Structure 1
Amino acid sequence: MKPSLIIFDCDGVLVDSEPLAALAYERVYERHGMAGVGPDIIAQCIGMKQADIIAKIHGLTGHLLSDDRQDDIWLETRQLFTERLEPTDGIAAFLDDLTAARCVASSSSMERIHHSLAVTRLAHHFGDAIFSSSMVARGKPAPDIFLFAAERMGAEPSGCVVIEDSPFGVQGAVAAGMVAIGFTGGGHTYPGHAERLIEHGAAVACADWNAVSREIERVRAYA
């Protein structure tokens, strides 16, 4: 039996956004006199929603971005995305061939998700089937966004496959009772990335969309 719903994370899965997002955070913090928030810090926050990222950066560095400056993150990110954001390699062809129902479940804001999908020309693959952690009480690694997406799409959690690039996302998918496939095809992939995803509950980790396609075909073997 094939999965009834494929749930895609957005950043680092559909779009190769994580390096650009990290650069946006670095620029904003530096602009406000808080240097040292580099890729190594942001790497520890991948998969979180913005409020949780800001709290995590505060805990790691002591730098706290005040509420009145937090809108700067999206303004900087939007500019970078408009100029430079690309889809992950092979995702357009994968979506063209996908017959199962699909949706997006992301920690990003709805505005950022829609902008990302628009500039990469992927929006038509999802229509209104887009869900943000802003719609639920808790962000990843809590299962809330995945359970919410499944309910809205009319799918049972046990019939869902989630494709995620972050340990937090994988944890949330597993906590929701779904099969998680790790994705390591984004520009932020690092040595040991696949192993970390599997350690956090991914059934398998794939470096490209051809591999993801093969795993979906045999997902019930390890569900």
Structure 2
Amino acid sequence: MHPDLIVFDCDGVLVDSEVLSIGGVVSVLNEAGVPATYPMIARYFGMKQADIMLKVSEETGHDIPLELSARIWPAIRDRFEAELKPMPGLADFLRRHPDVPRCVASSSGPDRIRNSLRLTGLAPFFGEHIFSSSQVARGKPEPDLFLFAAATMGVEPSRCVVVEDSRFGVMGAVAAGMRAIGFTGGSHIEPHHAQALAEAGALYVERDWDAVEARMFGG
């Protein structure tokens, strides 16, 4: 593959955050009387929060006001401060390829992305090359975020490789004309997930960074 730019999702790819995040969302919604469940929220992870809340509202029949949505990030942040970890093997992977341009393209907000990278010691690997769905009109699974990141970094989409753990992210990468590797190394991954990523268009699906490296730079 030998990309000119590696585009990393953050949650579930760089940091093992999805179980913590989903738990925070469910806790806040349940406390407000919204009957959300872990499987319900997990179905939509990879989308930006506003889109997830819309889906939950449609499923449960409960309105989710902005002030309730605003309580979600503080709840997740507390869990991150206590428990967030980087994906095993990721830092070594990044150190082995210092000359390959890289960036983050995440459905999370900029403050949350930076906080996750700071807590896990990954911030120096990315600097200011951080892109959020809040910067574009449409989030994943639309291609807007990936196209914005590639244009800002000055790389043609066809020369980018995206590493994603969600089918929405893979779909967005493919729609942008990029090659996608599905990543299944997070603690939130269930047995069917690899197949879902492949069906969404991932060229390969791998569960550790040595395997991702072999796909990306081998041969």
Fold-level match, TM-score > 0.5? Answer: yes
Matches within 5 A, 1:1-223: 2-35=2-35, 37-98=36-97, 99-218=99-218
Q: Which moved more, 1:142-151 or 1:91-100?
A: 91-100
Q: Which runs of 4+ in 1 moved over 4 A?
A: none
Q: TM-score, normalised by structure 2?
A: 0.97
- Equivalent pair of 2:105/2:149 in contact (CA under 8 Å): yes
Query: 1: distance between equivalents of 2:41 and 2:120?
Result: 23
Query: 1: distance between equivalents of 2:86 and 2:151?
Result: 27
Q: Secondary structure at the match of 1:140?
A: coil
Deviations 1:24-53 (Å, cap 9, x if unpaired)? 011101111223x12101111110001001
Query: What residue identity is the alignment partner of 1:158?
Result: S
Q: Runs of 5+ in structure 1 lacking a partner?
A: none
CA RMSD, Structure 1 to Structure 2 (Å): 1.1
Query: 1: distance between equivalents of 2:26 and 2:42?
Result: 12
How many residue pairs get aligned? The number is 218
Cα deviation for residue 146 of structure 1 reads 0.3
Query: 1: distance between equivalents of 2:162 and 2:188?
Result: 19
Q: Which moved more, 1:54-63 or 1:120-129?
A: 54-63
Query: 1: distance between equivalents of 2:193 and 2:52?
Result: 20
Query: What residue identity is the alignment partner of 1:171?
Result: M
